[in-house]
Every structure is written in structure tokens, then in C-alpha cells.
């Protein structure tokens, strides 16, 4: 027979030899564990599933900015952020304290302080974000030892009630947070709105003063008309100079006609110079035209003033809309938590799992029985080996003693 076959036979021999002990331990342990599972506390779990709000409008001022082209910059609150906000509220000490006081958990958990009851409650509450984005809330409640049907029914209802209370208070706290945030947003926008009205009035005032000072009613059109008028004046000056040359060749220098043409040329040059510098203008009709030397600076100033006014006006229109939205958001108290699955009274306990407990305890009893048998056999084998050695030693000693006696006897005879 091979070595493995010999070992297998040995194992079978030990199992048959100790079968009564193995079977006895198995049934005793299983019965004890089964009895304990019947009297131990029973735990029931109630679960609710909620849907976090998906509208970015609920995120306060960031939601108010949703109409601006800033989404690419990451402004706004996505679904994951809102889910984590809900988890933070569910795990907060404020909500835990409300649950402890609502259900008198200090006495139920048999603790002395509020903080201890909150710690026990947190161990009995599980919250998680599921793969589909939903949030699940599970609350467990346990009976005492030797619980009857009445206590079990009370515990089941307590688990469902606590779970739904968590959902209800979550909605209330989230609404309060949003209203508080909306109030701060409304105050901020209101202050900025009032400041913008003052800035807009100031921009309009500066533009008006600029137009009055430089007669800049419509600067591009005025410059175009001024250029056209200046060209006509230059043409008149050239024509008058030609006329003066013609008259000078045929008339005396003191001729009234020559004096008239000279005077005309002088006045026309004064008007042209006045249009260039904007000073000493003798023609009131030309005051509507800005001076050419100042035209670039005036154009830049006009562009800046008009841009400032347009900016403030655009900001005014935007803030007016957002201010109204902020007031609506502040007064808004609609529910923010949508329940997908409301917690119901659980019918099946989550603990203890009696079949699993009995099965594991039975396997454990078999394992420890084999361990005990191995130890007993090892001790027995060790004692047997010691006894065999002792017997051999005694045999050797007796034989040596007998031989010694025989030798001494023959020596005496001789």
C-alpha cells in the first residue's frame, strides 16, 4: 500500500474511532447556536430611495448665472455634488440629534448622553450613492433578548418610521439651507443692483456733459459734414484767389472789388483755421462741427463713454432679471427631495441569519473536534513511545545485572 493510502486509512480509523464524540459535539453545538439565535436580538432594516434635484437653479447664485455663457468654466452644481450635499446633511449631527430626541433613543439604546446615542444611531444608519445616482437611506432597529411578537412589530415599525423621518427632515433642512443661501444671494444682487443704477446714471451724465461740451450730438456724422464743409471752404478760397489774381491784373490795388475779394479770402481762411483748431470761430453755424485737431481724442473719449454706458446698461438689464429671480428663489419653499421608494415596514429580519449561524457553527464544531482528536492521539502516541522505551531499558538493565551476578559467582568458585 502506498503512503497516501496508509494515511487515508489512518484518518478513516480515527473518524470511526471518535465518531460518537464528533457527532455529539456537532449536534450539541448546533442546538446551542440554534437556541441562542432564537433568543438573541432581532434586527430589521428599512430602506428609502430618493432622487436628488437635477435643476441647477437650486444651487443659489451659481444657478442664477446659468444664463451666462460660463458653463464651460465649471460654474454650476451637477448631480454628484448635490448628492454629496444630501449625504452631508444625512450624516450631520444636527439631524442625528433631531432623530434621537424624536424617538427618545437615549432610553432605547440605554445610554446616558446624547453624544453616545448619536454614535449608536450612526452605526445603525447607512447612506450611499448608488450607481444610477439615486441615494439610499437604510435604518436598522433591534429588539432585546427574548423578544415577542409585539416587540418585533414595534421594532419593524420603528425602523420604517425613522427612515421616513430622515427623508422628511432632509427635505426640511435642505429647503432651509437653500432659502438661507437664496437670501444671501438676494442681498448681494440687490446691493450690486443698486450700485449699478448709480453707475448707469453717472455714465449717462458723463456722456451728456461730453456731448454738450463738444457739441458731439452724432460725432461720426458731424465729422463727415465738417469734412465736406471744410472742402467747400477750401474750394471757395482757391476760387477767390484765382479771382483776386485776375482782378489784380486788370484793376488798381485800391479798387473796392479787389478789397472785397481779399476780405472774403481772409474770412474764409479764418473759418478754415477755426474748424482746424476749434478756436476764434466767427461763424455760429460752424460750432456744431468738432475741431479737426481734437477729433481723434474726442472720438476715443466718445467710444469710452459710450462703451461704459452700454456696459452698465447691459449689466442693469441682467441684474434686474436676476434680482427678480433671487426674490422668487428666496420665497420658494417647494419640496426639494423626491422620493423614489418610501420606506415600508420590513417583514423579514436582516439579523440573525439562523441557517447560516447553525451551518457555520456545525462546521466549526467538526473542525475543533478533529483538532481535539489530533491532540489526544498525539499525546497517546507519545506516552506509548515512552512506555516502550522504559520497558526496553528495564529489560537491558535486568539482563546486565544477571550477567554480572553470574561472572561474580564463577570468580568465587575459582
Tell me what pLDDT residue 227 has.
57
Q: Do the beta carbons of residue 145 and residue 23 sit within 8 Å?
A: no
The model scores a pTM over 0.75 = no
Tally of CA atoms within 13 A in the half-sphere of 64 that contains its CB: 23
| Of 292, 294, 298, 296, the residue nearest 234 (C-alpha) | 292
Tell me what pLDDT residue 169 has.
94
For residue 123, give Cα distances in angstroms to 144, 232, 286.
17, 95, 89
At residue 303's C-alpha, the angle toward residues 298 and 305, to 5°, is: 95
Spatial distance between the Cα atoms of 61 and 334, rounded to a whole number of angstroms: 18
Grid coordinates given for 120 = 449608536
Spatial distance between the Cα atoms of 197 and 203, rounded to a whole number of angstroms: 10
Tally of CA atoms within 13 A in the half-sphere of 153 that contains its CB: 3
For 365-375, b/e burial (b = at least 16 CB within 10 A) is beeebeeebee
- 344 sits in the region (left: phi over 0; alpha: psi -120 to 50; else beta) called beta
Q: Do the beta carbons of residue 125 and residue 103 sit within 8 Å?
A: no
Show me where the domains of the chain are located.
1-40+364-408, 204-317
Locate the DSSP E strands across 103-181.
Answer: 125-129, 135-142
Tell me what pLDDT residue 58 has.
44
Grid coordinates given for 220 = 461720426
Tell me what pLDDT residue 75 has.
38
What value does the CA radius of gyration of the chain take, rounded to a whole number of Å? 53
Grid coordinates given for 250 = 486788370
Tell me what pLDDT residue 143 has.
92
Tell me what pLDDT residue 56 has.
45
Tell me what pLDDT residue 31 has.
94
Tell me what pLDDT residue 276 has.
59
Tell me what pLDDT residue 403 has.
63
Tell me what pLDDT residue 13 has.
75
Residue numbers of the chain with a pLDDT score lower than 50: 1, 6, 56-77, 281-289, 292-293
Grid coordinates given for 204 = 449717462
Amino acid at each position: 500500500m502506498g503512503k497516501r493510502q496508509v494515511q487515508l486509512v489512518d484518518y478513516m480509523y480515527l473518524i470511526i474511532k471518535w465518531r460518537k464524540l464528533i457527532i455529539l459535539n456537532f449536534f450539541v453545538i448546533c442546538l446551542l447556536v440554534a437556541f441562542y439565535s432564537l433568543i438573541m436580538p432581532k434586527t430589521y432594516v428599512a430602506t428609502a430611495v430618493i432622487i436628488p434635484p437635477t435643476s441647477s437653479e437650486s444651487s443659489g447664485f451659481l444657478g442664477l448665472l446659468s444664463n451666462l455663457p460660463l458653463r464651460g468654466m465649471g460654474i454650476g452644481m451637477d448631480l454628484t455634488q448635490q448628492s454629496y450635499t444630501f449625504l452631508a446633511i444625512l450624516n450631520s449631527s444636527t439631524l442625528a440629534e433631531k432623530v434621537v430626541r424624536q424617538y427618545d433613543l437615549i432610553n432605547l439604546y440605554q445610554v446616558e448622553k446624547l453624544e453616545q446615542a448619536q454614535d449608536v444611531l450612526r452605526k445603525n444608519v447607512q447612506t450611499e450613492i448608488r450607481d444610477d445616482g439615486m441615494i439610499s437611506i437604510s435604518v436598522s432597529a433591534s429588539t432585546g433578548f427574548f423578544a415577542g411578537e409585539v416587540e418585533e412589530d414595534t421594532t419593524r415599525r420603528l425602523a420604517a418610521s425613522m427612515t421616513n423621518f430622515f427623508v422628511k427632515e432632509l427635505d426640511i433642512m435642505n429647503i432651509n439651507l437653500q432659502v438661507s443661501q437664496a437670501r444671501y444671494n438676494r442681498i448681494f444682487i440687490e446691493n450690486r443692483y443698486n450700485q449699478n443704477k448709480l453707475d448707469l446714471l453717472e455714465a449717462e451724465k458723463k456722456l451728456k456733459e461730453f456731448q454738450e461740451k463738444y457739441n458731439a450730438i452724432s460725432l461720426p456724422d458731424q465729422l463727415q459734414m465738417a469734412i465736406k464743409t471744410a472742402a467747400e471752404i477750401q474750394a471757395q478760397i482757391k476760387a477767390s484767389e484765382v479771382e483776386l489774381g485776375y482782378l489784380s491784373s486788370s484793376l488798381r490795388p485800391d479798387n473796392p472789388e479787389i478789397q472785397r475779394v481779399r476780405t472774403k479770402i481772409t474770412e474764409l481762411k479764418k473759418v478754415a483755421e477755426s474748424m482746424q483748431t476749434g478756436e476764434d470761430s466767427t461763424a455760429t453755424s460752424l460750432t456744431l462741427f468738432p475741431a479737426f485737431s481734437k477729433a481723434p481724442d474726442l472720438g476715443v473719449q466718445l467710444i469710452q463713454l459710450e462703451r461704459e454706458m452700454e456696459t452698465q446698461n447691459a449689466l442693469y438689464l441682467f441684474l434686474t432679471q436676476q434680482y427678480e429671480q433671487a426674490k422668487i428663489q428666496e420665497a420658494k419653499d417647494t419640496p426639494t427631495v423626491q422620493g423614489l421608494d418610501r420606506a415600508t415596514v420590513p417583514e423579514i429580519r436582516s439579523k440573525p441569519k439562523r441557517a447560516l449561524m447553525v451551518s457555520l457553527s456545525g462546521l466549526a464544531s467538526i473542525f475543533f473536534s478533529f483538532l481535539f482528536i489530533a491532540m489526544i492521539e498525539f499525546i497517546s502516541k507519545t506516552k506509548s513511545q515512552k512506555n516502550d522505551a522504559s520497558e526496553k531499558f528495564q529489560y537491558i538493565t535486568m539482563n546486565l545485572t544477571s550477567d554480572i551476578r553470574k561472572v561474580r559467582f564463577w570468580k568465587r568458585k575459582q
